A and B are shown apart, each in its own frame.
Chain A
Amino acid sequence: MHMADALLSPAVGTTLWVGTVAVGGYASKKLKERIDDRMIPLMGVLGAFIFAAQMINITIPGTGSSGHLGGGMILAIILGPHAAFLVMASVLTVQALFFADGGLLALGCNIWNLGFYPCFLVYPLIYKPLIGDSHNSGRIIAVSLLSAIAALQLGAFSVVMETLLSGKSELPFGAFVLLMQPIHLAIGVIEGFVTAGVINYVLSARPELLESIAASRSHGAEISLRKVMITFVVLAVITGGALSWFASTHPDGLEWSIEKVTGKGELQEAEHGIARVLKGIQKKTAFLPGYNFKPEGNDPKKAETAPARPGIEVGTSVSGIVGAVIVLGMIVLIGVGIRSFRGRDA
């Protein structure tokens, strides 16, 4: 499932974009150092292949619904992690631009969720060590299955975290996880079988093919376990820094979700937390005649906060909505005006 712009906060969107750009830059640099020119058209065409393969649908056994190939894992196995990450990034970019699947700010999240995990986590930590040099078809099935499930679970969990940290959705952590993880378990199983099936098919039909790609993908481009661990430590530090910055600029989402995660905060407490934080923000932004429906409903602090937030008053709400209707009306008029003006021109 693709993360959507509308559910994101700027802080989360930016953080994930920074992570994605960093990994993408690293992958391009690595590839550029040692790449065989042959790989460049191959990568491009394989990106198009993932698209085309998504057009062929499959009936999921037992349910009658249909699914298609995701592609991250299969690319990592064929092309190696660096190239696969770039191909996945390009596939998702085209999806974001042409189908608006997700959106441009969420693109950072989507590349991270669907590209980083399979290529830089699951492939070097699960697939590579478990498969070794084996061409045994049973082993390929088992390992692919495990890898695809792991990659999709990580991706799905990321979507949950990104949404919660953005604080635009009311879904509590537990329910959201219960919603996302099982669906992606099913998707992971299908993806794993398809990945293994295609790899096995290619191995039996054209065994030399995968080896020749493995030869053109450079020797140094493999990832060592140690490097992955070091990267992780660095990432953890960066994430910690970013999160604390995030916590200071946008406290309600984080506080709210952490309370859910730790299970300590009951709803009452959470509201209390939000209200307290809001008051702080209000003080800072009081010079703006802010417009906000932020519900202080049953909160005892209502009396204190109401004057600073005229938005709750009915009169203001009505004038706000009247204003919105007028503005939208004007925009429509401008649009129609330009269109008819153009029409006369042509």
Chain B
Amino acid sequence: MTFDTLYFDIGRMDRLSYRETFVHRLDPRAKVIATILFLFTVISFPKYEIVALAPFFLYPVLLLTVGEIPVRFIIKKMIVVSPFAVFIGIFNPILDTRTAAVIFGVSLSAGWISFLSILLKFALTISAALLLIATTSFPGVCHALRRLGFPALFVSQLLFLYRYLFVLMEEAMRIVRAREMRSFGSRGTGMKVFVRLIGILFLRTMDRAERIYYAMLSRGFHGDIPSLKRSRIAFRDLAFMAITIAFLAVFRFLPITEGIGRVA
């Protein structure tokens, strides 16, 4: 992944989160809690479960469609981060070759089933996390965390990081571009130049932090970042939570998928 695409992707996620849909208008707290419950439910399935995971795709699909988030964008982001889970999971079919099931005359080893299970869980958990941020602005998530009891210091740390991410990435982008214009092939990408560049970036960052601090002081900063936006838990938030919990419980504990297959 090149630098520029990574950069613009963050910007795109940010823009998506300011849309006005039903999902976007839900209270951030409700969405954070629902996402966490969803993740827990998905990874609580045993190693060899695949069939019962299918209904859980309804959750990301609903968020995607109601929240009007482009599907391809989310899938692309999922593929970018897949290597670790795939890399560790791919050993399952190699190491676990006991035959588990024979389906339509093709015998399937237990390893492939557990690998498939890892892939499904990966798709579900990653899409849920991405959709949380795509349908809730990052400051919204931060304030939700604050009201859910996270330390104020940590939350203001997150807000600062997010605010200056874009600024410093632009700075880094300029540095990288300057290096590329002066170097041919792999020249200039070695350790010595790299350390210098990081050092320069660090010094500029420090200077910036100082200016930011004085600017904040002159605006009355005394250690906390308050939010002017007051949000209340509305009826629709409670309804959203209740439906999510019911959905998770039903599909976690009842073998609905299999039942549908039997009837069909």
Contact = CB atoms under 8 A, between A and B. Distances in A.
Contacts of A51: 161, 165, 168-169
Contacts, number: 362
B257 A323 contact: yes
A187 to B, nearest CB: 14
B99 interface: yes
Given A25-B151, A326-B261, A104 B35 contact: yes
Contacts of A86: 153-154, 157
A292 B216 contact: no
Nearest to B89: A169
A255 interface: no
A94 B162 CA distance: 8
Contact of B48 (A94, A205, A292): A292
A134 B264 CA distance: 75
A74 to B, nearest CB: 9
Given A58-B190, A86-B153, A338-B66, A53 B165 contact: no
Interface string A21-65: 000110011011001011011111111110111011111010010
A280 interface: no
Interface residues of B, number: 125
A86 B160 CA distance: 12
A145 to B, nearest CB: 13
Interface string B30-64: 00000110011011101111111011011001101
A316 interface: yes
A122 to B, nearest CB: 20
A81 interface: no
B243 interface: no
Contacts of A331: 54-55, 57-58, 61
Which among B3, B167, B195, B202 has the highest number of chain A CB atoms within 10 Å?
Answer: B202
A327 interface: yes
Contact of A55 (B95, B117, B173): B173
Contacts of A98: 9-10, 13, 133, 138
Interface in B10-28: 10, 13
Given A28-B154, A105-B43, A201-B195, A97 B189 contact: no
B129 A323 contact: no
B253 interface: yes
A59 B195 CA distance: 12
Interface string A287-309: 01111111101100000000000
Interface string A195-209: 001100110011001
A8 B43 contact: yes
B49 A292 contact: yes
A175 B61 CA distance: 38
Nearest to A103: B125
B141 interface: yes
B237 interface: no
Interface residues of A, number: 107
Contacts of B189: 57-59, 66
B34 to A, nearest CB: 12
A9 interface: yes
Contacts of B40: 10, 13, 105
A335 B64 contact: yes
Nearest to A14: B40
Interface of A: 1-10, 13, 24-25, 28-29, 31-32, 35, 37-38, 40-49, 51-53, 55-59, 61, 64, 66, 69, 86-87, 89-91, 93-94, 96-105, 163, 167-172, 193-194, 197-198, 201-202, 205-206, 209, 288-295, 297-298, 312, 314, 316-328, 331-332, 334-335, 338-339, 342
Nearest first, the 3 A-B pairs at minimum CB distance are A44-B160, A323-B261, A197-B195
22 contacts: A5-B125, A5-B129, A6-B125, A25-B151, A32-B153, A55-B3, A55-B7, A55-B169, A56-B176, A86-B153, A89-B157, A94-B138, A99-B81, A100-B129, A104-B35, A171-B91, A194-B194, A293-B113, A312-B100, A326-B264, A334-B61, A338-B65
Given A25-B151, A202-B203, A321-B51, 15 more contacts: A35-B153, A40-B160, A42-B213, A49-B202, A53-B202, A56-B175, A59-B186, A94-B162, A98-B9, A171-B95, A194-B198, A323-B260, A334-B61, A334-B62, A338-B62
Interface of B: 3, 6-7, 9-10, 13, 35-36, 39-40, 42-44, 46-52, 54-55, 57-58, 61-62, 64-66, 68, 77-78, 80-81, 84-85, 88-89, 91-92, 94-96, 98-104, 110-111, 113-114, 117-119, 121-122, 125-126, 128-130, 132-133, 138, 141, 151-154, 156-165, 167-169, 171-173, 175-176, 179, 186, 189-191, 194-199, 201-203, 205-206, 208-209, 212-213, 216-217, 221-223, 253, 255-262, 264
